[in-house]
Structure 1
């Protein structure tokens, strides 16, 4: 009888444990934020990446021109594509780099809008929790950083994806760098959950425009080139769910690839500070609409039916323009 009772108790404990596992939320569950559009129904924002160098490598000059252009197009917010603090992220919430590379650099009035930030590989070399901490937001209310999240506007959804954990090299051959993988391990489960959440969110979206932002390239003629892991795991999900743009940094350039094999426009804005002169690989000239190996940034201006993309250099000169359109009553 005691033997039977023991096994029954063990069965119910295992059943309860497995039941609890069924209700464990996804570790990559996507938090949502809402940002209003202008009263006239338009949406404008800036995109900059790979910037955090305490004003050096023309970071301050890029910030100045961002301020000028931001005022001209009346931006609602700024997107950072990652590598927010070089070389090794932040050491903690009290790291002076937050002031020296962010607060004291992006001072123009038009840049005192919400910043939506993702993490780059250099950010993962520091204290990741520091960049995600609300303490930084208390220090500067513009700052919002998450691993992955969704930004909703009236007619556009922007999906921010944590791309660094996808890259095998950071785990197998870190080149004497230390990465902060707290909150990511076990890696396979983290990536599986993240891909599932991104796929579900994109599939359920009824937004007129779908934009995905990540740090790493998917298609690029730059130094890092194609990120094979994203091309294999993430790109099919983006294509299956009718994503309009994939915006990234990582390569220190400004770049636009309009693929002949995909509806997605691949846009690189990684010119926030240090650039890599002459570092370009061969690419189909029919697809490569822009490759600029200097500093700069981009703007996106949108309505329900149009999206206008403009790239600017460090002097505020227009390098490239691209426009997209949709029917007002077309299905999302």
Structure 2
């Protein structure tokens, strides 16, 4: 089955990828949390959290404060040089660009994440916008970006940007993309899941992203060209790309078509240049590998990690029949682990040529457990 993804202007997208299979899915039971070791000159640790923008007056319904506090506590014994916040920072409709934004910024950023500034003078949380951050208006999205640019420890430098965290000698570079803006011009097939998890087109089309996020400037229209050039020019050992929408995810809903479209837009350049991709959007915790097409000089597969850390305030269950079907449908996918049963965040350690990803679950009592751990090797090139 070949799905057609077309630009609203009528431009046809590329054919879908069919690459080589990786190993079987690996699962690991939860265990009491063992924090990553404190940093040394040869290692760097950082946090990843997403979809934190949901708050509720009902106790125990939102994970925002428990997760933010758990992150702070975790970093009391683990190396945390910086953080990534992968979008949907303000539910339901983002900022509005008016006086009411002050309360939104206080409850979503300053109150929960301000205490992380105590981790160090240079500690920053590098932020991307998600689809909900665009819901109100373009003015609202820009107001949020402006606030984050001016209020440490949060950090934005435009809607898409690159940054080298200080104190790391240029060994790590982060590339933040606005995936809602990339998807907004596209028309995607509406799909539904059968009982056995198979995704079937309904015959209808849906806009890939919100109208407010449509590119409005020459630079915004050229976001993908910027990313390709910036990745190719980077001298960093670790090139980390982050956006809101994932390349892969484990729920049978409209996000499936978005993930296919995003892979068509971004995967070739990520496979050429990047070392990992971090996202949210689904309120799950997931870890996948994409085999790409090339191999390193020693013959090993150039696996591209796809990390979904979208359970910062809500949790949604995994669709197991869909997950099983997706693994068979897309042989390049290695579904390493996924969970939708709890809030959570991720911690990543970069040491030499190795990247260790820890998926950390946060209970309603604030207790943190290590749900899964996996090690990747730096991707040459």
Q: Compute the TM-score of the two structures, normalised by the length of structure 1.
A: 0.77
Report what 1:21 is aligned to.
Answer: none
Aligned to 2:154: 143
1:164 equivalenced with 2:180 (yes/no) = yes
Structure 2 distance, partners of 1:194, 1:237, is 13
User: CA contact under 8 A between 2:54 and 2:64: conserved in structure 1?
Assistant: yes
Give how far 1:93 is off. Answer: 6.1
What are the within-5 Å matches in structure 2 for residues 224-235 of structure 1?
224-225=255-256, 227-235=259-267
1:292 paired residue number: 339
Moved over 6 A (4+): 169-172
**In 2, Cα distance between equivalents of 1:303 and 1:73:** 14
Q: CA RMSD in A?
A: 2.9
How many residues get paired? 286
Unaligned runs of 5+ in 1: 1-37
Aligned to 1:125: 135
Alignment of 1:71-86 (within 5 A): 71-86=76-91
Pair 1:321 & 2:373 matched: yes
1:267 maps onto 2:310 in alignment: no
The C-alpha deviation readout for 1:243-298, integer Å capped at 9, x for no partner, is 22111011110001122445211110101011112445223288111111031010
CA contact (8 A) 1:257 1:265 kept: yes
**Alpha-carbon contact 1:70-1:110 (below 8 Å) kept:** no
User: CA separation of 1:41/1:174 partners in 2, compared to 1, >3 Å: closer, same or farther?
Assistant: same
Could you list the per-position Cα deviations for residues 195-239 of structure 1 after superposition, in whole angstroms to 9, with x for gaps in the alignment?
A: 111111111222212211111011122342352221111111111
Distance 1:316 1:170, change over 3 A: farther
1:99 is matched with which residue? 106
The one of 277, 300, 321 aligned to 2:317: 277
**Contact in 2 for aligned 1:93/1:131 (Cα 8 Å):** no
Instruction: State the partner residue of 1:307.
Output: 355
Larger Rg: 1
Distance 1:271 1:70 in 2: 18
Whether the aligned pair in 2 keeps the contact of 1:78 and 1:111 (CA below 8 Å) is: no
| Larger RCO of the pair (alpha carbons < 8 Å, separation 6+) | 2
CA contact (8 A) 1:116 1:144 kept: yes
Equivalent residues of 2:48, 2:309 under 8 A apart? yes
Q: 2:275 aligns with which of 225, 244, 253?
A: 244
Please give the secondary structure, in 2, of the residue aligned with 1:239.
Answer: helix
1:220 is aligned to 2:233: no
Correspondent of 1:194 among 223, 231, 234: 223
Choose which of 244, 250, 255 in structure 1 pairs with 2:286. 255
1:278-325 per-residue CA deviation (whole Å, 9 max, x = no partner) reads 445223288111111031010111133221110100131001111123
Residues 284 and 318, structure 2, Cα contact 8 Å, conserved in 1: no
Q: SS where residue 104 of structure 1 aligns? A: helix
Partner SS for 1:102 = helix
Distance 2:118 2:264 in 1: 36
Match of 2:36? Answer: none
C-alpha separation between the residues in 2 aligned to 1:50 and 1:98? 15
Question: Equivalents in 1 of 2:380, 2:280: separation in Å?
Answer: 30
Is 1:71–1:110's contact at 8 Å kept on the other side of the alignment? no
What SS does the corresponding residue of 2:54 show, helix, strand or coil? coil
Change (3 A) 1:309 1:99: same
User: 2:10 maps to what in 1?
Assistant: none
Measure the CA separation in 2 of the matches of 1:204 and 1:78: 23
Equivalent-residue separation in structure 1 for 2:183 and 2:149 (angstroms) = 29
